[in-house]
A and B are shown apart, each in its own frame.
Chain A
Amino acid sequence: MLSPEEFRERYPEEKLAEELPDSPIGSLRDIQYLYGKLYTLATTGGGEYAPYLTPDAAGDLEDSGDSLIVVRADLSGDEPRLADRIDPVWVTSYSEDQVQDVAHCKYPAARGIDHSVTHQSGQNSDPEKLARYAKERLTKWATDDVVQEVAENHDEGWIIKELVELGEDEGALDEIEGTLTTALGGESTTALLTVQVQLDEDEGYRWPGDLDVFMEAMRQRKLSKLVTKNKADDSSGNATDLVTGEPTRTVGTSEDPQNYFLGKQLEKFPGLDIEEAWRTHPISEDAAVTVMNADTFVEACTYRTFGAKVYCLPYFFGRPSIDDAYTLYSTLHAAANADESRTTPIENVYQRRTDWSIDTNRLRFYVSAVMPHQMSRYDVFGETLNGRIQYPAELARSHVDVLRTAAFRDDDRWTAAFPTNEGWTLLDGEGLLGPIASGWYFAETLPTGEDEASADDIRIEALVDVLSGTPIPVSMLLDGYVERIIEEDTDEQFPRFRVASQYAQLCALAGAEEEFLTADDQQRSIAEQPTYRIRTMESRENLAITDGGFEGDQNLEEFIENTPALGHDQRCGVFLLGALVGAVGSYQEWPLERSTTLVDQFPVKSITTNRIKKVAQDAIEKTLTYTREEKKREGKQYPGTKFDYIVDRLRKTILNPDPDEWDLDKSDLRFYYALGVTYGMNDRPLSDDDEAAAEIEEEATS
């Protein structure tokens, strides 16, 4: 495959302009057609037969031992015979410069021979099998109906007829087998098998690529499959080519690199059968073959997420200009030649957007998440022609900003509202574009689901929504968040890093300049951007100690004020309830070292509007008990009760209206309860001892 520089040299602007499609990109087929064009130009070049060759199919064989087996036929005399002045079968090593010579055209079916006279053996075939394939160049390929038809009508048709004649000579076939077996010395190998012919005594042996009749026969064999695959007799007719828009002969059973269309699907339309497949999917022969050639580039732009295969195909909005084509080629070449890296096409292009001067406003991605069931039954779970770099990049930026705010960054004396952790992707904030583009960003926060994603998997929906800038419904996220929390909220430990990750994500989505969230009236405020202070990284020593007031109280006040979602009384009430349960639970765990705490006693899945009052009573009672005990035990004197800054606020919000009359959606209720628990568990003064303790704890959890 040509390097991007070689590609530019080989196809200067004017030359490339002649090859590029004239119509703007408007469908998946248009993208595949453009990819196929670029691939053909970069591998087999221009010319009549180039699109029919499959140069990558035998790429693995290049320069690898006995990888090319050539049967030599001398057709210069009256009777065809095997070469006698040189070896009748030549075993050698296949190399890149022989791609054009052997003109291989693979037919991917498990059975059947390749379209070209050149045939690729299976992995490590034994000498007997290879001998059979070698003989079949004469006995099977040359006698094929389509090849015979070409032989009848072509000026050089006699060459094929003489091959057939040679194949009828048992002695010659035995000689092929004998020579080949000896040459291989009993070893198995993977090889391309082909023929060379000598047409005139004075000249040498010619490769199939040098002879038009071989090429034409190869082409006709490939074309025949476009109309006869799956037992159709002739699925073709005159219609408008869906790629070029030109009226032409169209074919119905061509292959689609993504298997979205199969000729044999009858579906439920009456009268729709394979012979008529060209009517529903009219594509010209040229376009069909070009689309098939997109396969290498299409496959290079895929990755796996949640068991689904994600296609992420870059293209430029509108008609591909020459510059677009060069850039696109560089992108695809890089993807096709990447080693097993885990970076997605979106990241790759993002990293090089400046080098390649990419107009990010015009650069788009076709994105689809496909679940293959069996070989050819595909389900597409999410799809867009309008993926763009700017959306995931903006979300990544917004997320980093969120982690720099008071909600996630401690001040000098008191903890932030929520914990951060280097071991958690969403609480670390470094290099989030990759996780966002790959779907990991949502795999971290939404339900893990079954082994395989299903059609209604919200991780895929969220992924495709973000890539295409489609707003995600807040209710969908909350449902997913709560399901994931309940999955993990076991007796062992409350999943506070998970909840913090979810909240960071929610804030990042709400804070991004793009509209990533959509909500109904009750949840609209969740989609609003919180206004937390940005905290810069100043060392503690440099910070002036503020005076006046209890810092935990001030922080809570500030957090509520700066969180638009908590402007809703019921939501704020349940958040405060969670905060109290978290704070008491934390106190029970340390310093009291209780094995079961309030947090375990009231897990997220147990929270309903009916139980709010009961949970609140229990939690408030505990604060009174612990205040009494602490004062008695330690002789401490302080006004009020423990956690009264939470309790006072809770009392106000939880009574108006009475929880029995609350109408907050269940997931909304539970998520903000969980968020409160996380807040309460994290809420404490920082001393050096605390920091050390916190570090130990974080190491243990990460």
Chain B
Amino acid sequence: MEQESPGASTNDESEWVPERCLSVTVRGPWGHFRRVEGNVVKQTYRIIPRTTVAGLLAAVLGVERDGYYDLFGPSASRIAIEPVSPLRTLNMPMNTLSTAGGDLQSINAHGKITIRLPDPTNLRQQHNYEVLVGPEYRIDIALSDEKTYRKLRETLAAGKSHYVPSLGLSEHLAELEFHGEFEVRDGPTDDPVAVDSAVPNRIESVVLESGTRCQVEESPAFMANDSGGRTTTEFTSYVYNPDAKELDVRDIDAKTVDERTVVFV
């Protein structure tokens, strides 16, 4: 997989560079963004995945499940994610019911709609969830669809949300703080550039300094519908500083938003 910035594609549409964006801080007491490598183990991404940001904003707008992937697709949107408080996790053991086939009961088995549920009288199993403690991200969003963009701006500005926004799991409620609309300007031309946001798809451009903590993770970035459901169409590797400080990056197409240096994907 070649690591390219989204604008590097030859497709004209995906080279779209927005002139302005909305900026919002998303925070909550807890967050859990399940990593795709595990379903037996429940580890979390540290940087809110781009697909989760899309889902969160779709919840604000009131778009149905599976109804927003094009809206946040590679040629129609730009999102930058900046962790603004140190990324810390802790283990939270939770008691859950088994969902193995044999432990599920069918309700209304002979009717048109059948629901299969775990038997609530069964003994619980304890599983460990890795959760983020007080996650907080500044998110910059640009959408090419003018109408939706305006609606998003109005909804955020009014402090409203259609569905309840959450950080990964529905029980981890999120609070949104809207900062306003900002111009997207070309970023600094220093080399290296000190980038505030997580750095997408540029692992090797990051300058490793022994004193700076610098971590990497790969999470889903874009999704698409198909007849049976949804699939991930692209992953993004984020390099980030877990102390919520900047990282030095060479040869990068950074942008300036509200005096901050960010990289969109």
| A residues lining the B interface (CB < 8 Å) | 22-30, 237-240, 242, 244-247, 256, 259-262, 264-268, 271, 276, 279-282, 317-319, 361-362, 370, 376-386, 390, 454-456, 461, 469-470
**Assuming the A-B contacts A240-B232, A281-B39, are A317 and B208 also in contact, with contact meaning beta carbons closer than 8 angstroms in the complex?**
yes
> Which of A266, A268, A361, A386 is the one whose CB lies under 8 Å from B100?
A266
A378 near B218 with CB under 8 A, answer no
A385 near B216 with CB under 8 A, answer yes
> Which of A267, A381, A383, A461 is the one whose CB lies under 8 Å from B99?
A267
Enumerate chain B residues within 8 angstroms of A261, measured Cβ to Cβ. 37-40
Taken together as a complex, chains A and B put the C-alpha atoms of A581 and B5 apart, in Å, by 66
**Assuming the A-B contacts A265-B99, A380-B128, are A247 and B1 also in contact, with contact meaning beta carbons closer than 8 angstroms in the complex?**
no
Taken together as a complex, chains A and B put the C-alpha atoms of A10 and B126 apart, in Å, by 49
- Confirm or deny: B93 has a beta carbon within 8 angstroms of a beta carbon on chain A: yes
**Assuming the A-B contacts A268-B99, A281-B39, A379-B127, are A27 and B218 also in contact, with contact meaning beta carbons closer than 8 angstroms in the complex?**
yes
The closest CB in chain A to the CB of B213 belongs to A469
> Which of B204, B226, B228 is the one whose CB lies under 8 Å from A319?
B204
A317 near B203 with CB under 8 A, answer yes
Enumerate chain A residues within 8 angstroms of B231, measured Cβ to Cβ. 237-240, 279, 282
Between-chain CB contacts (< 8 Å), 6 pairs:
A26-B216, A242-B36, A244-B1, A281-B39, A380-B43, A381-B128
Enumerate chain B residues within 8 angstroms of A26, measured Cβ to Cβ. 203, 216-218, 235, 237
**Assuming the A-B contacts A26-B216, A242-B36, A267-B99, are A282 and B208 also in contact, with contact meaning beta carbons closer than 8 angstroms in the complex?**
no
CB distance from B169 to the nearest CB of A (A): 9
Taken together as a complex, chains A and B put the C-alpha atoms of A378 and B40 apart, in Å, by 6
CB distance from A165 to the nearest CB of B (A): 40
Enumerate chain A residues within 8 angstroms of B210, measured Cβ to Cβ. 361, 390
CB distance from B47 to the nearest CB of A (A): 12
CB distance from B117 to the nearest CB of A (A): 10
A268 near B96 with CB under 8 A, answer yes
The closest CB in chain A to the CB of B216 belongs to A26
Taken together as a complex, chains A and B put the C-alpha atoms of A461 and B90 apart, in Å, by 9
**Assuming the A-B contacts A26-B217, A245-B1, A381-B91, are A260 and B38 also in contact, with contact meaning beta carbons closer than 8 angstroms in the complex?**
yes
B43 near A455 with CB under 8 A, answer no
The closest CB in chain B to the CB of A23 belongs to B1
CB distance from A306 to the nearest CB of B (A): 14
**Assuming the A-B contacts A242-B235, A279-B230, A455-B128, are A383 and B1 also in contact, with contact meaning beta carbons closer than 8 angstroms in the complex?**
no
A30 near B218 with CB under 8 A, answer yes
B127 near A27 with CB under 8 A, answer no
B17-46 with Cβ < 8 A to chain A: 35-41, 43
Taken together as a complex, chains A and B put the C-alpha atoms of A469 and B36 apart, in Å, by 25
> Which of B40, B43, B92 is the one whose CB lies under 8 Å from A265?
B40
- Confirm or deny: B146 has a beta carbon within 8 angstroms of a beta carbon on chain A: no
A319 near B203 with CB under 8 A, answer yes
The closest CB in chain B to the CB of A230 belongs to B101
Enumerate chain A residues within 8 angstroms of B96, measured Cβ to Cβ. 268
Taken together as a complex, chains A and B put the C-alpha atoms of A376 and B41 apart, in Å, by 10
The closest CB in chain A to the CB of B38 belongs to A260
CB distance from A287 to the nearest CB of B (A): 12
Taken together as a complex, chains A and B put the C-alpha atoms of A245 and B92 apart, in Å, by 32
Enumerate chain B residues within 8 angstroms of A238, measured Cβ to Cβ. 226, 231
Enumerate chain A residues within 8 angstroms of B214, measured Cβ to Cβ. 317, 386
The closest CB in chain A to the CB of B99 belongs to A266
Number of interface residues of B (CB under 8 A): 45
Taken together as a complex, chains A and B put the C-alpha atoms of A268 and B229 apart, in Å, by 16
- Confirm or deny: B215 has a beta carbon within 8 angstroms of a beta carbon on chain A: yes
A245 near B217 with CB under 8 A, answer no
Known: A23-B3, A281-B39. 15 other contacts (CB 8 A): A242-B218, A260-B39, A260-B40, A264-B100, A265-B39, A265-B40, A281-B36, A282-B232, A378-B40, A380-B128, A381-B128, A385-B215, A385-B216, A385-B217, A461-B91
Enumerate chain B residues within 8 angstroms of A244, measured Cβ to Cβ. 1
Taken together as a complex, chains A and B put the C-alpha atoms of A281 and B91 apart, in Å, by 23
CB distance from A593 to the nearest CB of B (A): 50
Enumerate chain B residues within 8 angstroms of A379, measured Cβ to Cβ. 41, 127-128
Enumerate chain B residues within 8 angstroms of A262, measured Cβ to Cβ. 39-40
B229 near A279 with CB under 8 A, answer yes
CB distance from B222 to the nearest CB of A (A): 9
Taken together as a complex, chains A and B put the C-alpha atoms of A280 and B235 apart, in Å, by 13
- Confirm or deny: B2 has a beta carbon within 8 angstroms of a beta carbon on chain A: yes
B39 near A246 with CB under 8 A, answer no
Enumerate chain B residues within 8 angstroms of A266, measured Cβ to Cβ. 99-101, 104
The closest CB in chain B to the CB of A364 belongs to B216
Taken together as a complex, chains A and B put the C-alpha atoms of A344 and B205 apart, in Å, by 31
B117-131 with Cβ < 8 A to chain A: 125, 127-128, 130
Enumerate chain A residues within 8 angstroms of B43, measured Cβ to Cβ. 260, 380, 383
Q: Which 6 A-B pairs have the closest CB atoms?
A: A245-B1, A26-B218, A266-B99, A26-B237, A260-B38, A239-B231
B229 near A276 with CB under 8 A, answer yes
Taken together as a complex, chains A and B put the C-alpha atoms of A267 and B43 apart, in Å, by 14
- Confirm or deny: B234 has a beta carbon within 8 angstroms of a beta carbon on chain A: yes
The closest CB in chain B to the CB of A383 belongs to B43
Enumerate chain B residues within 8 angstroms of A256, measured Cβ to Cβ. 37
Enumerate chain A residues within 8 angstroms of B127, measured Cβ to Cβ. 379
Taken together as a complex, chains A and B put the C-alpha atoms of A386 and B203 apart, in Å, by 14
Enumerate chain B residues within 8 angstroms of A260, measured Cβ to Cβ. 37-41, 43
- Confirm or deny: B242 has a beta carbon within 8 angstroms of a beta carbon on chain A: yes
**Assuming the A-B contacts A261-B37, A282-B231, are A361 and B208 also in contact, with contact meaning beta carbons closer than 8 angstroms in the complex?**
yes
The closest CB in chain A to the CB of B129 belongs to A455
Enumerate chain A residues within 8 angstroms of B37, measured Cβ to Cβ. 27-29, 242, 256, 260-261, 281
A318 near B204 with CB under 8 A, answer yes
Taken together as a complex, chains A and B put the C-alpha atoms of A291 and B3 apart, in Å, by 22
Enumerate chain B residues within 8 angstroms of A461, measured Cβ to Cβ. 91
The closest CB in chain A to the CB of B169 belongs to A268
**Assuming the A-B contacts A22-B1, A317-B216, A379-B128, are A247 and B233 also in contact, with contact meaning beta carbons closer than 8 angstroms in the complex?**
yes
Enumerate chain A residues within 8 angstroms of B93, measured Cβ to Cβ. 454-456
The closest CB in chain B to the CB of A359 belongs to B208
Taken together as a complex, chains A and B put the C-alpha atoms of A279 and B128 apart, in Å, by 23
> Which of B40, B104, B228, B234 is the one whose CB lies under 8 Å from A237?
B228
A386 near B204 with CB under 8 A, answer no
